[in-house]
Structure 1
Amino acid sequence: MSSRVIQSLLFLNNLKKIPLAVEDIDCLFTTKSFKSELLKQISAAKKRIYLAALYLEDDQAGEEVLSALYQAKKNNPSLDIVVCVDFHRAQRGLIGVDKSASTNATWYQQVAKIEGLGVKIIGIPVKRKELFGVQHLKGFIFDDQVLYSGASLNNIYLHQQDKYRLDRYWLIKNQELADSLVRFLQDQFLNTNAVASLNTESIADFQSLKLAHKTLIHDLRTASYQYQGQVSQDQLTVTPLFGLGARKNQLNKTIRQIFQSTEQELILFTPYFNLPSAIVRDINALLTRGVQLTIIVGDKTANDFYIPADKPFKTIGTLPYLYESNIKKFATKNQPSIDKGLLKIHLWKDKSNSFHLKGLYSDNRFAMLTGHNLNPRAWRLDLENALLIDDPKQEIKGLLDKELSGILANTRKIKHFNEIEDIANYPENVKKILIRMRRFKADRLVKGLL
């Protein structure tokens, strides 16, 4: 075992951890079961409901969730209900939709006029503009239950209609973990003047939050979850992690330590194949050491920005092709590792559904659940969090194996880089944009922001 591997294992072993009971952990395997569990937990909560997601959408599934929250408040007026979403995302329409259209925030306001203000919907701004950073914290807390997923709340994430967007869904019952997630939201955001209520009659603009927001971002760069934990190497545990920015980012640091500590096999899930340079270096070192790496990524048609050929094309529809070209370049460079069986690339595709899984699984021990996309944007710009499960006795290996098996069932394993479509075969409008971007080196800028 190299000194680098030993140092990384020491880092992971020395993290402060919250002990878990194996019977208090469960995994949901489908979008429909996620929706069912979400509504069940809302109905059953007695003391508190805290939901953190990128957005709560004004559509049928979003309305069902918001209605359930208000109903829970009516049934139990003392119930503390808070929804934390991105400040900017809530106040714009969907990409490609008329800017004059109603936004999620105007919907929140309309519902509040009818139902009252019993449900708090809070907008968290990360930067002055959404392009440069979003609220990407994840986790749904119901009393002492934590339902962790990278999903947002709308039709496709909750499989309301024919299509779904697959994510990961883990349910953990633990008061210390739930308290730490709620305490973080309260201390870092809710008890400051840097956030805005999105369902009051008047929503504060960013300019009025500017001074408090500056302090918020300064504090967040060194923030961490606070909890009673212990250093342990021999029991099932969980560590909540937070990160913002490229420096002093505990989450990013832990991600790198997982790569660097892996001795046998690392499994990586990401929907957008656009890895930060630091992760690329870690992957190169990992393969050089002879460690097996399995990458599971969405096929370009399973990307949430993909536009079918029978629909009007928009520039944003170029992104899935850009990500695919990244995969092709990576596979081409690492074909010798593919040939040796060290590198396995699986492209996920299930009809017209989409793929949104993120996370890591190392040596059947460390399992990271996260909303972190493992791309430059998440690495440098967005608020991100994760739960790192340490399973030294492989007590939840059965759940992790079942989750992985279900995911792999809809994948195609790449045996040679030529199996990945080339730019020469892309639609003409996509080809023109990508060639133009490369000519002016704009693709580097885009990859840094998306």
Structure 2
Amino acid sequence: MRKITVFTAALFLIILITIATANNVNNEIRLNPNYFFKSPYEEKLDLNIVTEEKILTLSPTGDFHYKNPLGLYSVISKSEPISKSLKINETTNTILQFDIKPNHMAIRLQDNDSVVFESMSDLLTSIDKNGVYPVVIDADWDRLDDKDYYGSLQYRVEFDVTLYPEIQIKTVDNFPGNILVLSISNIKDNYHTELTTDLSHGLISNAPMGDSLVYFIPIDIWAVAGDYILNFEIKNDADEIVANPSHTIKINDKDFVTQYLYISEEVYETTNSDAAYKEFREKVQTARSTSTLKKLWEGEFNLPVKDSYVLTTDYGEIRYVNDQITSSRHSGLDLAAPTGTEIYACNSGNVVLSEYLILTGNTIIIDHGMGVFTSYYHMDTLSSQEGDFVNKGDFVGTMGSTGFSTGPHLHWSISIYNTYVNTWQVLEYDLLP
């Protein structure tokens, strides 16, 4: 009986060696090694991605080779794993844990094979927008004399990245009457923002641009110099607070010139009446109450007059009319030139008003998008009609002295909706560089 048992064991070993030899390629068994031997590495090839909140286990693809009890190399072949996702942000501490530490590791974005990162922190630092990023992790174990394994495995994961919204102030110098331009980055489609501030301002315009939200804040012309705080509350669709970014903004002091204007009583009484102001509110302010969210202008704005002119009144001047005890602030630039001087669109946009009004005479208003409007008053003729789209530099009419006017000139102003702002700002700087 003992001879039969020894014989049987010997026969089994011969068959095993024969099978191994018949299937040996480069001293490796290509049969399933677990048919004969339980692999000590089978459960050690997964990769754990560890964060403060969870551990995500990834299974690899590729081949891992190890020596079996016969001294031959067996192969563990891993197939395509189920795709997994991990929610992270820029503060997430991400650690990669291997049971068997690889000799070499490369981390890259699936859509950009040319850039390889040595660590997860380097990869996360390179991401500057919200989104889902497929990530590939390549791990290699060298074939060394003192090791009984080698191989190359690949792990895949999708990072669902949510970056913290950040405030960026775009305007360097901020004065009363200027436009304070800022953006909040990393805004998702389901985010809703609300601004509270102690800064006096007009109606604010905000519009999405990419994954940012751009704000045009018309600073009140009467604003007092000093520091003011901008507080934003950002919520998602579930009414959960996502972020509360804040920023302190400095408003600089500015002096404005005082002007004393004299106009005939006849013109004053017929064009500066309650009826004139009622018509102005109904026509002009209504036309400037809604704006396309899309940016229509191109770069810096141009003066609408190309011929020689005289600047008779600047933006923000404190104006007294006919020695009245109360004053007003001039809302734009008065550019004086002969009647018939050609006037051009200072930038591209939609004509939202083109008609004669008692107060402003022949009037054109252009919506440049994102709450930015330009207004052209006291014109002699109108060559663009409501509903027209005009390009930067298009001819829109001629200069005149219609409405509340003392002589041929163009009153040209820019506003954020119905709040007039410093006209020179858009001539000297691109609102969205």
State TM-score, norm by structure 2: 0.23
* Structure that is richer in strand per residue: 2
* Structure that is richer in helix per residue: 1
State TM-score, norm by structure 1: 0.22
Question: Looking at CA atoms only, which structure, 1 or 2, has the larger radius of gyration?
Answer: 2
